[in-house]
Structure 1
Amino acid sequence: MRSDGATIDGATIDAPLVRALLSEQFPAWAALPLRPVDEGGNDHRMFRLGDALSVRLPSAPGYVPQVEKEQSWLPRLAATVPLPIPTVVGAGRASARFSAPWSVYGWLEGEPAWSAAIDDPERFAADLARFLVALRGADTAGAPAPGPHSAFRGGPLEHWDDEMRDLLLRVEGSERDGAAGIWRDALAAPHTGPTTWFHGDVSTHNLLVRDGELSAVIDFGCSGVGDTACDTVIVWTHLHGAARGVYRRELEVDDATWARGRGWAIWKALIMLDSRWPAQVALARRVLERLLDER
């Protein structure tokens, strides 16, 4: 596969390759212990480097633009948000060994929220919402609009309308009617306000927890400046009980944004219904049930 001149096969990204890249470009770190991170994500491969660093490489050509975006924008966003985000400490360049840019980050301690014990879910929801509100306030001058780099998160839902017609065939009867209605409502509530920063992938894999509290937000690969409705989806995927109401209140977005958020959520749920992973199918069923119960 090729994109922007890069040829990348994620299956070949391993510790020996990373060690060679470090020796070539950052020799001071090349002798540090190196091990893969199991929960490093799908779009990138991650390795822990010593105790204080990590190395992150795009796993396919389509993810290459995310690297330079993070290298450019994370330092600027860090001053705006109330929680730690990844810090770029080394910008690796494309070379004969690896034909794309890559990054060395400071290591952020914490356990992904999907597996962590959260002491106060309502506080967790409030802290997350306040982080996203602060992110929306970051300077947008020259920032990236939605596009392939963000998997079109932050853009108009119409981009997925053709695909959605096929996805709706994965459910039947009242479920299909309800899902189609949610999608119609989302398309009927277009984004008309100012464009602001969005994270684009607010999932429990990208939220770190320490001592029972939200401690950091990671993976800004799908971020950009556009419509923040995509950042509402966690209210259906992972928040429960009173925490859902706290998140809705603290996020401070209008009804049209929530309608588009339901569109994003139903689109993603229908995709996951066909997953080969039983846990994802179960999550998709829960999200679908929640969305349909709200109608």
Structure 2
Amino acid sequence: MHDDQVDVTTEKVTTLIHEQFPQWSGEAIRPLASTGTVHAIFRIGNDLSARFPLRLADAAEVLAVLEQEARASAELAQVSRVPAPEPVALGKPGAGYPMPWSVQTWLPGTIASDADPSGSDAFAEDLAAFIAALRDAGTRGRHFSGAHRGGVLAHHDEWMAKCFEESAELLDVPRLRQVWSRFRTLPRAGADVMSHGDLIPGNVLVAGGRLSGVLDTGGFGPADPALDLVSAWHLLQSGPREVLRRRLDCDDLEWERGKAWAFEQAMGVVWYYVESNPTMSAMGRRTLARILESMGDAP
């Protein structure tokens, strides 16, 4: 999926676990088929999973990121209304793999990409309750920091310009430029709240049409209150989407900013993964179609 992607094989993972965590060396090691774009994931027995960063980076920098993600995951697990993975250990480079890696608890369930809950009002209620619980956790004086989603919309202009350029043969770029020109000027609607940060179908577990767990929790942190509203567009049809909006009591500005963050994310994944990860690319197209439909436009 990435030009700088590292090759992670079952043989390498088995060796790393045998050398660094011999207490698990008797467990079956199985690669997990995933639409994820950041980590290669391997199950360790029935209760654990190992996550290996895919894109080559400085080992010390990767370690700092993994340590921060472990702290964030542990914090989210304490406040979440549904199961969330908890950090277990950090591994070191070795066996031909050049970076640190992490181990966390395994959660059973089916991701929303495979068990579509988009038409379920009950799922929308669950999702809203999860988001509300994160918001209620409080930031403890922390504020958004970084260059990713969750800060100032207009700070993403350069990235969006690249997305429009790369999408010229894929999407109605002139119309989408007009949409972004309006979204980017939406003013901030409130102080930072604690947010998951990436509520897309691949990070949400479903059982019986209900929310049964969340994944990829290492980005938990303070951000724009509208950030987790991307889930309304990535995960829900119009009826359940309104259920989520009512449950979270979103005013017009917060709702539009959530739509703007979903738009920014969707524009990126359509072209970037069009060949390497068709499921992600299709998610982006679907999200854009839902946004345009809500604005009275055809996709």
Q: Secondary structure at the match of 2:79?
A: coil
Which residue of 2 is the match for residue 115 of structure 1?
A: 114
Match of 2:288 in 1: 288
SS of alignment partner, residue 263 of structure 2:
helix
How far 1:273 sits from its partner (Å)? 4.0
* Greater shift in the superposed pair: 264-273 or 155-164: 264-273
| TM-score of the superposed pair, with normalisation by structure 2 | 0.82
Is this contact kept in 2: 1:85–1:218, CA < 8 A?
yes
Structure 2: give runs of 5+ residues left out of the alignment.
none
Bigger shift: 254-263 or 106-115?
254-263
The one-letter code of the counterpart of 1:123 is A
Whether the aligned pair in 2 keeps the contact of 1:186 and 1:261 (CA below 8 Å) is no
Alpha carbons 1:118, 1:124 under 8 Å: kept? yes
> What is the CA-CA distance between 1:66 and the residue it aligns to?
4.0
Corresponding residue for 1:126?
125
1:16-75 deviation per Cα after TM superposition (whole angstroms, max 9, x unaligned): 222222222211011210010011621011101111111112112469354222211222
Residue from 265, 269, 273 that aligns with 1:268: 265
1:153 aligned partner: 149
- SS of the equivalent of 2:200 reads coil
TM-score of the pair, normalised by structure 1: 0.83
Following the alignment from structure 1 to structure 2, what is the Cα–Cα distance between the partners of residues 143 and 88? 22
Partners of 2:21 and 2:292 lie apart in 1 by 52
- 1:249 Cα shift? 1.5
2:40 paired residue number:
45
Q: Equivalent residues in 2 for 1:143-292 (5 A)?
A: 145-147=144-146, 152-168=148-164, 170=167, 176=173, 178-274=175-271, 275-276=274-275, 282-292=282-292
The answer to whether structure 1 residue 15 and structure 2 residue 10 are counterparts is: yes
Closer, same or farther in 2 for the Cα pair 1:209/1:196, shift >3 Å?
same
Report the alpha carbon displacement of residue 215 of structure 1 after superposing the two structures with TM.
0.7
Which amino acid counterpart does residue 125 of structure 1 have in structure 2?
A
Contact 2:93 2:99 in 1 (8 A): yes
CA contact (8 A) 2:124 2:236 kept: yes
TM-aligned CA distance change 1:242 to 1:183, over 3 Å: same
Gaps of 5+ in 1: 1-8
Give 3-state SS (helix, strand or coil) of 2:183's partner. Answer: helix
Secondary structure in 1 matching 2:226: helix
Task: Give me the whole-angstrom Cα distance separating, in 2, the residues matched to 1:283 and 1:70.
Answer: 25
Q: What number of residue pairs does the alignment pair up?
A: 283
Q: 1:56 to 1:288 in 2, by over 3 A?
A: closer
- 1:84 aligns with 83
Residue 5 (structure 1) aligns with: none
Cα deviation digits, residues 78-129 of structure 1 (max 9, x gap)? 2211111101122324568544332211110101111126497111011011
In the alignment, is the contact (CA less than 8 A) between 1:84 and 1:216 conserved in 2?
Answer: yes
Cα distance in 1 for residues equivalent to 2:27 and 2:53: 21
What root-mean-square deviation, in Å, do the aligned CA atoms of Structure 1 and Structure 2 show?
2.9
Q: Secondary structure at the match of 2:150?
A: coil
Deviation readout 1:201-226 (Å, 9 max, x if unpaired): 11111111223321100102443312
Aligned to 1:60: 55
Kindly indicate whether the alpha-carbon contact (under 8 Å) linking 1:182 and 1:262 is maintained by their aligned counterparts in 2: no
Give the distance between the partners of 1:48 and 1:188, measured in 2 at CA.
44
Identical amino acids, percent of aligned pairs: 36
